[in-house]
Amino acid sequence: MNKVKDIVEVNCTGRDLGAVPAGLHKDTGILLLNANRLLSISTAAFQLLPVLQDLDLSDNGLRAVLTEAPLPSLKELLLSRNALEAVPTLQGLPALTRLALAHNKLQALAPKAFRAVPLLQDLDLRGNALQTLPEDAFTELRALKNLDLSDNALEELPSGLLRDLERLETLWLSGNRLRALPSGFFPVGHLFAYVFLTENPWHCNCSLVYLRSWILGNEGSIYEPERGLGKTKVEVAPEKVLCQSPSEHQQKPIIRFKPNCGHVRDAEEEYYYDEEPTPLASVSPTY
């Protein structure tokens, strides 16, 4: 147990626990229960911890998380690397600002899946098996700043997915199966700090006109993550968003792809490329 600035931290990491230990200090503000063998858990187990702010339940075998019992002070809930097949209801967690659900077994999100946590600022859904998302998946998350959908199996996204995300700064879409984005996907006039689009099979035909135009207007926001370094180092890389098909355009930058589509919505019209542009300077901001 560690006490810093009147916040009690209890570290139970890697203790082979199958249940929440009894007798936790009532002033516990940070509780680390990661890397144990918890298979299911209820927020009722933490009812005697009225000032609990951060709860780490990652790296367990969790298949169910019940959140009906209120934890009004909880701000951070880490559930990554478990076996969850559905997002918990999140009822009873009105103060939650960070939710990590990375590397679980999520295949779908329910409509308005996060409406119980409108103060959420950071949502990590990377490394699941999501293929599609309902248009209102993130409805009412007007405080959300960071949304990570990378390394899923997303093949398409609805045009209104980001509609309510007025404060969104960072969007991760890298490592999916996206071939195009629908017109109007990025809210008009919205300025992003970081957008990650690499490692998708972008199909360079007339359906990619919208995405190409958006990238050209937001080149300074397009980044590429450096694999193996987590999310600590990235670089400006609009030219790294590449066509994967058709074969004649494979590995060519989307920003240099210019479709000659006219008014014909034919997916296989004429294409040509701009001359090689002057490379942008690389930077490595901290995320």
C-alpha 280/C-alpha 238 separation (Å) is 9
Q: Is 184 in the same domain as 73? A: no
pLDDT score at 261: 76
Type of residue found at 178: L
Strand order in the sheet with 122-124: 2-4, 7-11, 28-32, 54-56, 76-78, 98-100, 122-124, 146-148, 170-172, 194-196, 222-225, 234-236
15 within some domain: yes
Confidence of residue 275 (pLDDT cuts 50, 70, 90): very low
- Cβ neighbour number for residue 206 with a 10 Å cutoff: 20
pLDDT score at 260: 75
How many structural domains compose the chain? Answer: 2
Type of residue found at 129: A
DSSP string for residues in 81-144: SS--SS----TT-TT--EEE--SS------TTTTTT-TT--EEE-TTS------TTTTTT-TT-
pLDDT score at 1: 59
Q: Is 91 in the same domain as 135? A: no
pLDDT score at 266: 40
**pLDDT tens by residue, 24-51:** 999 999 999 999 999 999 999 999 999 9
Q: Is 23 in the same domain as 142? A: no
Q: Is 61 in the same domain as 180? A: no
Element containing residue 238 per DSSP (H, E): none
190 within some domain: yes
182 within some domain: yes
Residue 31, phi then psi, degrees to nearest 5: -130, 120
Stretch 150-166: mean pLDDT, rounded? 98
**pLDDT tens by residue, 207-241:** 999 999 999 999 999 999 876 655 555 788 999 99
Confidence of residue 74 (pLDDT cuts 50, 70, 90): very high
Q: Is 170 in the same domain as 196? A: yes
User: How much is the CA Rg of the chain, to the nearest whole Å?
Assistant: 21
C-alpha 190/C-alpha 268 separation (Å) is 31
Strands, E assignment, the chain: 2-4, 7-11, 28-32, 40-42, 54-56, 64-66, 76-78, 98-100, 122-124, 146-148, 170-172, 194-196, 202-203, 222-225, 234-236, 243-245, 257-260, 270-273
Q: What is the CATH number of the domain that holds 234?
A: 3.80.10.10
Listed range (25-29, 42-46, 97-101, 247-251) with the worst mean pLDDT: 247-251
Q: Is 46 in the same domain as 89? A: yes
What the block records as the tokens of 215 is: 């990238």
The model's pTM: 0.89
What the block records as the tokens of 210 is: 């919208």
Q: Is 99 in the same domain as 141? A: no
Residue 284, phi then psi, degrees to nearest 5: -135, 75
Q: Is 248 in the same domain as 127? A: yes
The residues with which 148 forms a beta bridge, in sequence order, are 124, 172
Q: Is 95 in the same domain as 179? A: no
Q: Is 137 in the same domain as 265? A: yes
What domain range includes position 69?
1-105
